[in-house]
Amino acid sequence: MADAKKKQLVYNIIDFLRTSAQDGTVKEDDKESLEVAVQCIAESFGVDPDSEEDKKSYSISPASLLSLLDVYLKTKAKSNSSPISSNSNSNSTSNPTPINGKPNEEDKKQAESFKVKGNSLMSEKLYDSAIEQYTEAIKLYENPVYYSNRAAAWGGLGKHENAIKDAEKALNLDPNFAKAYSRLGHAHFSVGSYQEAVQAYEDGLKLDPSNNNMKTALTTAKSKLSESSSNSVADREPPSGGSGGMPDLSSLASMLGGGGGGGGGGGGMPDLASMMQNPQLMAMAQQMMANGGLERLMQNPALRGMAENMQNGGGMPDMSQLANDPNLREMAQQFMGGQGGQGRGA
């Protein structure tokens, strides 16, 4: 059985049909068929169009169904001519901002609701979902706050390059937005761009000098920058040695065990364990290897003879003799920086 609202609708439809038959809207030949239809509709919904009781319960007189439809159509026409965009619903997948770039108040209101949802998700560390909400807000209204908040969400996911882009976009929209500088500084710091991080924090503190969090972050970024700069200088320093970067071969002979067995194995063989622990010797060896010195080193007659002697079961030659070999000295100058020394004398 139909409920009261449906009965009311059916009663007034029947009233409309009967009125149409009486005012000439319906042709005379069709009136009988229309009356049959009215009776069928009334029986189906349990409505008696001739009952005074149903009339009192369901009639909308003095209005009529037709007049109500007219009011509805006029209201709809006014709504369609309103500046409020019909595309500002949350299911929109395109940017509904007007072509002139100025979002209406309804767009701004909807965008703010997306931002609020994003902030709530951020507090729960649901960064992916927060990014979705901020993105929807940005589609409606390119507000620097929305970009800045999304930068924070990207940072929560560890996607700091994306955070840098959003923070920079926020600053393009509002160069005086101090929080965006803080977000930019954090993103640069996280990817190891300490110079850029320092700059961002300094720019932010110009706008917000009392921001203690940014002050602390700036101090940390400066410390990291100084540390990385010191490491870079240390990496560029050549290993210590003789003139023009050449190692002191007499000292090398001493490190390797001297003339004939002091501090090493039999037959002048040096203590290899001690050699591997000597940082100066390892640095010299690494530089020589990096310059392709191994092949040319073995072309030296003394070293080649040493290798053949070892293959035949003999011991190593006196290391001090190798150190005083003029050919070996010349080769060491080439591989270890001797040529640079000659250039400075020119």
CATH number of the domain within which 148 lies: 1.25.40.10
CA distance 70 to 110: 32
- 201 and 305 both lie in a single domain: no
Number of C-beta neighbours around residue 311 at 10 A: 8
Q: pLDDT of 153-188, one tens digit each?
A: 999 999 999 999 999 999 999 999 999 999 999 999
Q: Which of 197, 203, 153 is nearest to 176 (CA)?
A: 203
Same-domain pairing of 319 and 261: yes
pLDDT band at 103, cuts 50/70/90? confident
Under 8 Å between Cβ of 123 and 132: no
Measure the CA–CA gap between 149 and 127, rounded to whole angstroms: 11
Give the residue with greater pLDDT, 141 vs 310: 141
Query: Are 40 and 145 part of one and the same domain?
Result: no
Using an 8 Å Cβ cutoff, are 59 and 12 in contact? yes
* Cα–Cα distance, 153 to 148 (Å, whole number): 9
Q: Which pLDDT does position 10 carry in this prediction?
A: 85
- Closest to 197 measured CA to CA, from 231, 160, 146: 160
Q: How many CB atoms lie within 10 A of CB 75?
A: 10
Percentage of residues of the chain with pLDDT beyond 70:
58
Task: Determine, yes or no, domain membership for 129.
Answer: yes
CA–CA separation, 214 and 243 (whole Å): 49
The 8-class DSSP code of residue 51 comes to -
Q: Domain of 21: which CATH number? A: 1.20.5.420
- Residue 339 is predicted with a pLDDT of 41
- 209 with 260, same domain? no
My answer on whether 35 and 126 are in the same domain is no
Task: Take residue 297 and report the two structure tokens written for it.
Answer: 């080193």
Query: Alpha-carbon distance 262 to 251, whole Å?
Result: 14
Q: Domain count for the chain, please give it.
A: 3
Same domain, 117 and 42: no
Inside any domain, residue 98: no
pLDDT tens digits for range 180-211: 999 999 999 999 999 999 999 999 999 999 99
Q: Are 241 and 284 in contact (CB under 8 A)?
A: yes
Please tell me the predicted confidence (pLDDT) of residue 22. Answer: 82
Domain that holds residue 201: 105-229
> Quick one: how far is CA 315 from the chain centroid?
63
Query: Which tokens sit at 339?
Result: 């040529």
In a domain? residue 92: no
Same domain, 174 and 255: no
- Asked which of 181, 206, 229 is the last residue of a domain, the reply is 229
Q: Are 127 and 59 within one domain? A: no
